[in-house]
Amino acid sequence: MSEYTPVELMATVASHQLEDGRTVGVGTGLPMIAALLAQKTHAPNLIILFEAGSMAPEVPTLPISVGDSRCSHRAVAATGLAGIMETGQRGMIDYAFLGGAEVDMYGNINSTVIGDHDHPKTRLPGSGGANDFGSLSWRTIIIARHEKDKLPERVNFITTPGYIDGSGARERAGLPRGTGPYRVITNLALMGFDKETCRMKLISVHPGVTLQQVIDNTGFELLIPDDVGTSALPTKEELERLREIDPAGIIIGR
């Protein structure tokens, strides 16, 4: 079981960012799969919160959305959107795990419109709970496609604030001090953020990917340290767990 899909690699790299005993607010799709994978491998005490209101469920099979009834299976609590976001307001969500159509150099996420807001080329689903999760959780982890138009210098619309326009901007906007984007996982690489400038910084490239490919597919000047690593391959156990979570390959593909 050595072969893996690009999405399976993204899911495993993403799951490695989650620590045992932490709490994570999860969005629909790949973030959900990565959180479930972490829980079934190295982080059995990871507490998952779904924005529709479920806290610490034992998810039996892959839900189709965060509002699926399976998200509440054997949950500690099944409240509602307000209850989950109030948990974030109290500083009790360690990680927000989100996707987006665009992510810029400061980790701002766009899931609202492409183009002019009033006359967009594409109207997207919007925030859901993403703005609240990204505003109130201590660390935000983002999954996105690594393409120039997906990683622009500035997003068309800030649905979920990252570091907005640089150091200190979140605090000036009234967001909790010490919160913000933490990791960005794409099909090419793993990125973090520079502590001083709050700009996106390369951490590792995925196996088989060159540094030049990452540069060519990024729509801004990515900070590149001297010690860029290579992302770990999925293990046999991780691939087995992934295929148990999504047996039909609806999201991870095969």
Query: Pick from 56, 43, 128: which is nearest to 85 by CA?
Result: 128
Contact of 213 with 188, CB cutoff 8 Å: yes
At position 126, the amino acid (one-letter code) is G
Alpha-helix runs per DSSP H in the chain: 6-15, 30-40, 81-89, 130-136, 169-172, 211-216, 236-245
Distance CA 162, CA 170 (A): 8
pLDDT in tens, the chain (254 residues): 458 999 999 999 999 999 999 999 998 888 899 999 999 999 999 999 998 888 888 887 788 888 888 888 888 888 888 889 999 999 999 999 999 899 999 999 999 999 988 998 999 988 888 999 999 999 999 999 999 999 999 999 999 999 999 999 999 999 999 999 999 999 999 999 999 999 999 999 999 999 999 999 999 999 999 999 999 999 999 999 999 998 877 677 76
Our answer to whether residue 51 is catalytic in this structure is yes
Query: Strand ranges (DSSP E) for the chain?
Result: 23-26, 47-50, 54-55, 77-78, 95-99, 102-103, 109-110, 113-115, 120-123, 139-143, 180-185, 189-193, 200-205, 229-230
What is the 8-class DSSP label of residue 2? Answer: -
What is the architecture, at CATH level 2, of domain 6-245? Answer: 3-Layer(aba) Sandwich (3.40)
At position 104, the amino acid (one-letter code) is D
- pTM for the full model? 0.93
DSSP string, 204-222: EE-TT--HHHHHHT-BS--
Token look-up 């010490």 returns: 178
Distance CA 151, CA 218 (A): 6
The domain ranges of the chain are 6-245
Active-site position among 3, 8, 19, 51? 51
